[in-house]
Each structure stands twice: as C-alpha cells, then as structure tokens.
Homo-oligomer: A and B are copies of this chain.
Amino acid sequence: MGITVVGSVAFDTIETPAGKRERCLGGAATHFSLAASYFTEVSVIAVVGEDFGPAEEAVFRKRNIDLRGLEHAAGKSFFWAGSYMDNLNEAKTRQTDLNVFASFEPKIPEAYANTTHLFLANIDPVLQRRVREAMPQAKLVAGDTMNYWINDHRAALLETIKGLDVLVINDAETKTIAGNSNLVQAAQTVLSLGPKSLIVKHGEYGATAFFSERSFGGDRIIMHPFRAPAMPLAEVVDPTGAGDSFAGGFFGYVASQPELNPQVFRKAMFYGSVMGSFCVERFGTERNASLTREEIDARFEVFKDLTHL
C-alpha cells in the first residue's frame, strides 16, 4: 500500500517579490511527499547531511511520512538558491550544491517492499531506473525529470521514461524531449517513447494529460486528453515546489483509489492542481505541511466551480 518516493530532500534559499527565506526545507521528494500525505501513506528514499535536524524531521513526522529510507550522511544536505524576482513563472538558479547528493546511492528498506505506487522525482535517470528495478512489486510508476537530464543524459532518460505509467513534466521539457514546438505533436512523440500517459504542467494555466493507446488496469479504455486548471491567485508568495506538490496531490489521490481509470485520473489531476495552488501561497513547505483534508476538499470544489458548466 501507499507511495514510495525517491528524490531530493534539501535546503532552499528563495527570493521572491514577497520576501526572502534562508535555508528553508525543500527538495522535490519533500514537496511531493507532503502533498501526497493527505491522501495515502508515503515513504521517502533520499539522503540528507548533518544539517538536517529534528526541526526538519518533525515536518515529515507530523504528516506520518515514513523516513526509514532517509539516509543520514556525513556532510551537508543538497542546497539550492533561486530567485523569482524577474519572473514568478521561472526560477533563476543562483546556486546549486549537490553536497551529500553527489554520491547518493538509493537504499530501499525492506519495510518498503509492499509499496504499490512508486514516484521517481527529478534525479539522475540512472538512479530512477535502479529504484524502479529494485521495486518490481510497484504496480504504478510515475516520474518527473528536468532539462539537464533531457539534454545531457538523454539515453539514460529515455530508458527510464519508457517504462513509466505517468510522466509528469512541463511544457518546455515536453518540447525539448520531442524536439517539437507544437505541444500536441510533442506530447504524441513523448508517448511514442513508451510512457502510458503524459501530464504536461503549464504553470499558472494548469496541466494537460495525454494518453497512449495502452490502457491502465485491465480493460482497454480510450482516454481523451484532459485539462485541469490552475487556480487564479491574487498572490503567489513562492512558486518553489508547486510542480512537485502537483505530482504529490495527483499520485497521492491515485494511490488512494482501488484502480486507475479515467475518472480517477481526472480527479487526481484536480487534486494535483489543488495542492500546487496551496503550495505557492506561502514560502517553502509552510502551507502544505499544515493543511487539513477539509481545506483540500473545499478547494477541490472551487476548482470544479472554476471549470464546470
């Protein structure tokens, strides 16, 4: 039962028009697991350094996230510094220190062996594939990536995405993988590389899902493209982690359901958008670390109202 996520747990220094935060808890696996924790059990595989202490651990513990796969290594945790001063839709990276992540070798606790859903957050596609192969019992596997792997580690990346049930990336990444500037054509090309479905995240404009002809679950079901909105927000405090929170809400809801059918996929995308919309309302993990399921479901209804005739 539940999701295992492999990815980064990090410290972020973030500057946005709303202010600045030094070394707040961040990382793709962090944002993903917090968002998913409102829907299902979540277990983390990652590595942190000696700077990761009780305060950071408490954020995960409060959400009952399993940290038995969180390795503590000598040295410092992954660190990222970025600014959104010029453009809230795109971070300008000021600094990236891999630190303990540079030599990360994912180790999977035996306790994770009953995981049914696996999320491969944005890390080296070689490691993503190694984790996937070490968890053959996972019946649904989703993953993310970024332009660095697409451009400089293409062969390894294609090998990883080939086996995915759901690939969750953004417009630019989709177009870069395909070498095509038309989103629909690019999506078709990406699907021809193997993933059963592709969710393209459009930032403030929501996300669109595309499906290959291979079905989920038992029966062969033709699934049409589906578009989930983003929430029109009067204030975006910090966009960091919005995409990972989308993935967490999406996959968390999927994992909470007995099967992945078109109706579940659609609702899951709405929950993804909901978690992304909460994430950006505060810095770092502040908002998604302390929500209630009632707040989440109330916003789900707002998303329905925003899109349904």
Contacts and interface: CB of A to CB of B under 8 A. Distances in A.
Given A205-B202, A234-B185, A224 B267 contact: no
A204 B181 CA distance: 13
A78 to B, nearest CB: 31
Interface stretch (A25-33, A43-51, A123-131, A225-233): A225-233
A308 B308 contact: yes
A226 B188 CA distance: 29
B309 A234 contact: no
Interface stretch (A57-65, A288-296, A299-307): A299-307
Interface in A193-233: 202, 204-206, 208, 210, 224-227, 229, 232-233
Contacts of A229: 227, 229, 307
Nearest to A307: B307
A232 B307 contact: no
A309 B266 contact: yes
A183 interface: yes
A112 interface: no
Interface in A34-90: 88
Q: Chain A, interface size: which category?
A: 35 or more
A306 B263 contact: no
Contacts of A208: 232
A114 interface: no
B183 A204 contact: yes
Nearest to A300: B309
Interface in A215-274: 224-227, 229, 232-236, 263, 266-267, 270
Nearest to A187: B232
A151 interface: no
Contact of A270 (B185, B305, B309): B309
The interface centre, meaning the residue of A210, A235, A308 with most chain B CB atoms within 10 A of its CB, is A308
A182 interface: yes
A184 interface: yes
A309 B304 contact: yes
Contacts of A226: 306-307
Given A184-B232, A308-B309, 14 more contacts: A88-B181, A182-B236, A184-B233, A184-B234, A187-B232, A205-B205, A205-B206, A224-B306, A226-B306, A227-B229, A227-B306, A229-B229, A229-B307, A266-B309
18 contacts: A88-B181, A182-B235, A183-B232, A184-B233, A184-B234, A205-B206, A208-B232, A224-B302, A224-B305, A226-B306, A227-B232, A227-B306, A263-B309, A266-B309, A304-B309, A307-B307, A308-B308, A308-B309
